[in-house]
Amino acid sequence: MKLRLVLGDQLNENHPWFNSIEKGVLYVQMEMRQETDYAPHHIQKLIAFFGAMRHFNQVLEAHGHQTYYLKLDAPENSQDLVSNLRKIIQQYEVNSFEYQSPDEYRLSHQLKEFCSSLSIPTTEVDSDHFMASQEELQEYFTGKKQYVLEFFYRKMRKKFNLLMHGEQPEGGQWNFDKNNRKKWKGSPEIPEVFYPEKKTLTDLYRLFKDQKVVSIGSFDPENFIYPLSRVAALKQLDYFCEKLLIHFGDYQDAMHTEELNLFHSRLSFGLNTKMISPLEVVEKVIAYYRKNTAIIALSQVEGFVRQIVGWREYMRGIYWTQMPHYKKKNTLKNFNKLPDFYWTGKTKMNCLKQSVCNSLDHAYAHHIQRLMILGNFALLAQVHPDEVDAWFLGVYADAVEWVQLPNTRGMSQWADGGIVATKPYVSAAAYINKMGNYCEGCTYDKKKRLGADACPFNSLYWNFLDDKKEHFAKNNRMAMMLRLLEKIPGEELSAIKTRAGKILSQPDAF
């Protein structure tokens, strides 16, 4: 018997393994405390992963594959990958072991060690999902001080001939980023939230409660949006093309109190579990655009393609070429605790309250909420990157370490000293107000730096620049901000720092 292991984020029906029914092959999937407990996860994330794994098992069975599915509460489950595998190998007299390359360093390491302890042949195969191979990542991401997304992105566009005219980008430019910065003020109308399938998931909810799995956030079966099957994920993709793509690029950076999704696709869970592939997603989006060029502008499509072909693949390159030391980086030497309100939503700062509550209620926040509200505040508050990582890894349904870590520690917290981002993504209230309507309903005054009602972001921003100025002294992109800092009169700066100190000493009171 040959054992083939399918991990929870390897639900790729189109993997070559499944092209034919092979006799003597056993496909193994396992629900384990090892995976539910390595971080406290959002309850919807747990339900989505286990629900999708169970569905995948039904698909394999329906196609005639022989499977072994270990449920979380099965008495024979030892809740640990290696012990479970050893038992199955013995029980089924397994004489060869195969697995797809894990995307997480933790699992890759664990499986490599396990294989070296076995006396039967073992084989690692590609997961057949990503657009850049490990070899290409190694070639592009080693031996440089900084890795510019733009060049990587162009390489990928050329490689797959996406939005290209020969060697040149369609529309004469590679990047329409400058068109992606509109504030949403009530129009254009945002289509209804799309639920790709209706499923009763209370059995899974009960399972986690009965097994006392520690989780965060809330679960309402009526509002559960995550696709648990490839069919549902493809429906979500169709919906995106038909209803959302038309305005995706324009409002990519917008934020609004009443609108959780705006024109975002919500495809990250389907992608990260590999139910759908990045290439099929962008090809479908481009094909839809080609049929609808009269109403959809190239800038909307390019903005979307850049996220998947550019950012998503690029983050994976950073992860695999920088791990394991990347996980320990703390260039800015930040050591504060994450405020409790990240876990409760109890804060008077409206932008944070809205973004935290979105995250706890839906296991989702869109990119700018993650980067410019939640990440921004954590960085201004000089929180230890370990604490920030733990929160981001647990709270989102799409959070898997290979993509969460470079986004959080790199892009958002600048803990990698600029490997991902040329300058830290920090801002005071002016940016938040420019891109959203949070400030309109806030206790604090977005324009003030000082006084009891002054927006905390404003004093924290200048305090952060002042505290960390030596780190940025040679950074050209920070030169203007440092010059502005220097222009603040000494007395005012000292008052700003006193206010910031007060906020940092008790952030949950603000």
Ligand X SMILES: Cc1cc2nc3c(=O)[nH]c(=O)nc-3n(C[C@H](O)[C@H](O)[C@H](O)COP(=O)(O)OP(=O)(O)OC[C@H]3O[C@@H](n4cnc5c(N)ncnc54)[C@H](O)[C@@H]3O)c2cc1C
Minimum Å gap between C-beta 445 and ligand SF4 is: 7
Residues 223, 266: contact at Cβ < 8 Å? no
Stated as kind and residue range, the H or E segment containing 68 is strand 66-70
Under the criterion CB under 6 A, does residue 368 sit at the interface with ligand SF4?
Answer: no
Dihedral of alpha carbons 496, 499, 502, 503, sign: negative
Residue 351 contacts which entry, ligand SF4, ligand X, none (Cβ below 5-8 A, type-dependent)? ligand SF4
Distance CA 59, CA 67 (A): 10
Residues 483, 402: contact at Cβ < 8 Å? no
Residues 247, 253: contact at Cβ < 8 Å? no
The token duo for 319 is 């992860």
Minimum Å gap between C-beta 88 and ligand SF4 is: 52
Angle at 140 between CA 136 and CA 146, to 5 degrees: 155
Minimum Å gap between C-beta 448 and ligand SF4 is: 9
Measured N-to-C along each axis, helices 313-322 and 149-159 cross at an angle, to the nearest 10 degrees, of: 120
Dihedral of alpha carbons 22, 24, 25, 30, sign: positive
Under the criterion CB under 6 A, does residue 362 sit at the interface with ligand X?
Answer: no
Under the criterion CB under 6 A, does residue 403 sit at the interface with ligand X?
Answer: yes
Under the criterion CB under 6 A, does residue 371 sit at the interface with ligand SF4?
Answer: no
Q: What's the residue count for the chain?
A: 510
Say whether 506 sits in a helix, a strand or coil.
coil
Residue 358 contacts which entry, ligand SF4, ligand X, none (Cβ below 5-8 A, type-dependent)? none
Minimum Å gap between C-beta 439 and ligand SF4 is: 3
Instruction: Give the number of other CB atoms < 10 A from CB of residue 60.
Output: 20
Residue 306 contacts which entry, ligand SF4, ligand X, none (Cβ below 5-8 A, type-dependent)? none
Residue 392 contacts which entry, ligand X, ligand SF4, none (Cβ below 5-8 A, type-dependent)? ligand X
Residues 318, 405: contact at Cβ < 8 Å? no
Candidates 136-144, 184-192, 311-319, 353-361; binding stretch for ligand X (CB under 6 A): 311-319
Distance CA 259, CA 329 (A): 35
Residue 444 contacts which entry, ligand SF4, ligand X, none (Cβ below 5-8 A, type-dependent)? ligand SF4
The token duo for 431 is 């940016």
Distance CA 47, CA 228 (A): 9
Candidates 6-14, 177-185, 188-196, 394-402; binding stretch for ligand X (CB under 6 A): 394-402
| Backbone torsions φ then ψ of 29, nearest 5 degrees | -125, 145
In this complex, which beta carbon is closest to ligand SF4, that of residue 360 or of residue 439? 439
How many residues of this chain interact with ligand X, rule: CB under 6 A? 27
In this complex, which beta carbon is closest to ligand X, that of residue 205 or of residue 269? 269
Stated as kind and residue range, the H or E segment containing 124 is strand 122-125
Distance CA 391, CA 396 (A): 9
Query: Quick one: which of 411, 442, 460, 500 contacts ligand X (CB under 6 A)?
Result: 411
Residue 319 contacts which entry, ligand X, ligand SF4, none (Cβ below 5-8 A, type-dependent)? none
In this complex, which beta carbon is closest to ligand X, that of residue 268 or of residue 354? 268
In this complex, which beta carbon is closest to ligand X, that of residue 51 or of residue 227? 227
* Contact string (CB under 6 A) for ligand SF4, positions 220-259, x = contact: ----------------------------------------
* Contact string (CB under 6 A) for ligand SF4, positions 335-364, x = contact: --------------xxx-------------
* Contact string (CB under 6 A) for ligand SF4, positions 423-462, x = contact: ------x--xx----xx--x-x-x--------xxx-----
Residues 508, 352: contact at Cβ < 8 Å? no
Beta bridge partner(s), residue 445: 454
Residues 273, 49: contact at Cβ < 8 Å? yes
Contacts of 502 (CB under 8 A, 6+ apart): none
Residue 323 contacts which entry, ligand X, ligand SF4, none (Cβ below 5-8 A, type-dependent)? none
Minimum Å gap between C-beta 242 and ligand SF4 is: 33
Minimum Å gap between C-beta 317 and ligand X is: 11
Under the criterion CB under 6 A, does residue 106 sit at the interface with ligand X?
Answer: no
Under the criterion CB under 6 A, does residue 317 sit at the interface with ligand X?
Answer: no
Say whether 339 sits in a helix, a strand or coil.
coil
Query: Quick one: which of 7, 30, 60, 267 contacts ligand X (CB under 6 A)?
Result: 267
In this complex, which beta carbon is closest to ligand SF4, that of residue 288 or of residue 431? 431
In this complex, which beta carbon is closest to ligand SF4, that of residue 317 or of residue 507? 507
Residues 127, 101: contact at Cβ < 8 Å? yes
**Strand pairing class (168-169; 164-165):** antiparallel
In this complex, which beta carbon is closest to ligand SF4, that of residue 8 or of residue 456? 456
Contacts to ligand SF4 by CB under 6 A:
349-351, 429, 432-433, 438-439, 442, 444, 446, 455-457
Contacts to ligand X by CB under 6 A:
264-268, 271-272, 307-308, 311-312, 315, 366-367, 370-371, 375, 392, 396, 398-399, 403-404, 407-408, 411-412
